[in-house]
Amino acid sequence: MGALGLTRAAPPVALTVAGSDSSGGAGVQADLKTFSAFGVWGACAVTAVTAQNTAAVVEMFVLPAAMVRAQFDAVADDMRPTAVKTGMLATAEIVESVAAAVAHHGVSNLVVDPVMAASLGAQLLDHDAVRVMKEQLLPLCALLTPNIPEAEALLGGSPIEAGDMPEAAAALAAMGPRAVLLKGGHLKGDVARDLLWFEGATTWLDAPRIDTGDTHGTGCTLSAAITAQVAAGIPIPKACAAAKAFVTRAIAGGFGLGGGPGPVDPSWALGGLS
């Protein structure tokens, strides 16, 4: 019952398992803002606390895997999220814990954003954790959303150019994900090209490349936008296309906060800051 005595339907619930960004531009903070923009209730399991701004990751404290699992369980047992996304998982122990939680709770809508490094270069995923992610988490996920460097790491380090993306996406899908969105933002060109592999077919998702330095949180915002829509029952291909359009607007809406790469603005959809 709302404050005015009106009955309100409960929104879908999405859970993000990711690190905290003290600048508010990426990680858990970006995910929760994006969930809200899509009318989805956001819950979180924090994996690490970072002291960072637009210029640098200054300090990082990784939480114990048992605490990450406790947060996941607390939300899943009570609020029953219909979709879960992962971002920064930091260690092999946390990846193992999250994979076990996903299996235990029967999560079918898992979006894995395999965050390995901050945009400013700080390492956010241990080497051993990459192996565990491939072995234990990817076979459980509905959608994997790597950028080009992350895809190269998952596939063994071979360089990926634009023409290699269909083959690379298929190779990633062979690791277990039911769908793969391979993001081409790191490649050059006037068009930002992502490639969706879904049920054996590939679809290019294109958008004009925006000439801006305000790109902090782009990957988190994109995967969160997909997760929010999947939580609301939207099929993956439609969710990916809509999320691509959403994040393009969020990049265009950046406003140059700080002295480094400024954050994108997921609040544009709420008629807020942009």
Active site residues: 183, 215, 217-220
Q: Assess contact for 54 and 263: CB atoms under 8 A.
A: yes
3-state helix, strand, coil in the chain (%, to 5): 40, 25, 35
Report angle CA 231, 153, 188 to the nearest 5 degrees.
85
Q: Which of these, 212, 223, 210, 214, lies nearest to 181 by C-alpha position?
A: 223
For residue 121, how many other CB atoms are within 10 A of its CB? 8
């039911």: which residue's tokens?
178
CA 212 to chain centre: 21
Measured distance CA(150)–CA(130) in Å, rounded: 10
Which helix H or strand E contains 130, and what residues bound it?
helix 127-132
